[in-house]
Chain A
Amino acid sequence: MNVQIYFSPESLSNSYIVSQDNKKEAILIDPKRVDLPLFEILDSQGKELKAVLFTHVDKVGLQAVRTLERIYSFEVFGGSDSLDACTITNIKSVPVFDCAGFAIRPFFIPGHLPDSIAFHIDNFLFPGELFSAGMVHNADQGYGRALLIQCIQESFFELANTTLVLPAFGPPSTLSIERRCNPDLQQKIY
């Protein structure tokens, strides 16, 4: 498995291109803007975009999809059915789905947004903006935040300690570090 990180200086967010070395198919996770360097990564390696995965679908991400649609033919996966006439394959309640040769495990995490999904591929976890190194997203309400923290603890803490965490914002991390040092995840929720 080959993961490439693209940090967009405009949106200050990370996007990830996932592919296999010997295959042309690629997956793009959480595109916010299709800047020229992002396109160059795909183009220079002759990768063919097969799917776009959204940890949360918003209008900024859809703009990126509109741009990419002019170049590639791909499927969009996320936690909702559609947004602004863009058809999205809803994988909220699917345990595992196959895409570009990968078995992808989606985790629906309630508490923040109705379509928040995290993706687990191989030993990489893509939590989007649900949590990043050392912090859990500030959900609007006390109940929502408590639910979010509980779901993160229950869903991800069963994964291996060596799992790499690649969030939408901020530096990379590992599940081992998050378990031990993320102050928000130390809270006991009953």
Chain B
Amino acid sequence: MVRLMIKRVQCLQPGCSKTIFKDEIYCLSHHHQGDALQTAACSFLEHENLVQNLNFSGLVIKDFDFFGKVFVNCDFSQASFTNCTWKNCQFAFVFFDDAVFEKGHFDHCKIIESVFGCAHLVQFKIAESDVIQCNFNGATGNNIHFYSNDLMYNRFIATEFSETLFEDCNLKGVYFSKADALIYSFQYSNAEDAFFI
């Protein structure tokens, strides 16, 4: 059961499609105190173990270790994570749509009902994690390694991953696009339980 209270509101700057940052009226890139907010948000994430009902849309984080943190109902849409690692973390209803993940990994994490739609992943590894009923539709990237995960009921429709390996993963009820069967490697995974539409 996940309680969802977040409200996604578009930035007031004309022509901007990003969502607002926390309780502000502009996104980080259009906020006049954007840099200060960015620093405060990073400091907050560093010290809090339970992060819930917060909007970090557009946040840029580098070289960060999210060890053991719990994220509930948060919005990281259009955020950028470079060289960040998540070990023993939990995510419930967290939005990473249009986010960028470069060189990092999720390790021993529990991720449910979360959205990675249209995200971009480069040299990224998701290992020994439970990733249940998540939305990866339209995600792009290369060099992605899913290793020993439970990926039950996830959706990978219209993804464009290259050099991607699903190794020893539970793919029961997972949806892929038809073309993915030829592109991705499903070594030791039960691809026969997945749907290719």
Contact = CB atoms under 8 A, between A and B. Distances in A.
Interface of A: 1-7, 12, 21, 37, 41, 122-123, 133-135, 160-164, 170-174, 176-177, 180-183
Contacts of A162: 8-10, 19
A5 B1 contact: yes
A164 B8 contact: yes
Interface string B148-187: 0000011101100000000000000001010000000000
Contact of B133 (A3, A7, A122): A7
A4 B3 contact: yes
Interface stretch (B40-48, B62-70, B99-107, B134-142): B134-142
Interface of B: 1-5, 7-10, 17, 19, 93, 95, 97-98, 113-115, 117-118, 133-135, 137-138, 153-155, 157-158, 175, 177, 197
B1 A181 contact: no
B158 A134 contact: yes
Contact of A3 (B5, B8, B138): B5
Report whether over half of chain B's contact residues are helix, strand or loop; otherwise say mixed: loop
Nearest to A132: B155
A14 B152 CA distance: 15
Contacts of A21: 5
Contacts of A134: 135, 137, 155, 157-158, 175
A41 B4 CA distance: 13
B9 A4 contact: no
A183 B177 contact: yes
Contact of B93 (A2, A172, A177): A172
Contact of A177 (B10, B135, B153): B135
A123 B175 contact: no
16 contacts: A1-B5, A5-B1, A5-B4, A5-B93, A21-B5, A122-B7, A123-B7, A134-B137, A135-B197, A170-B133, A171-B154, A176-B118, A177-B118, A181-B117, A182-B157, A183-B158
B135 A172 contact: yes
A17 to B, nearest CB: 9
B155 A174 contact: no
Contacts of B95: 174
B155 to A, nearest CB: 5
Contacts of B98: 176
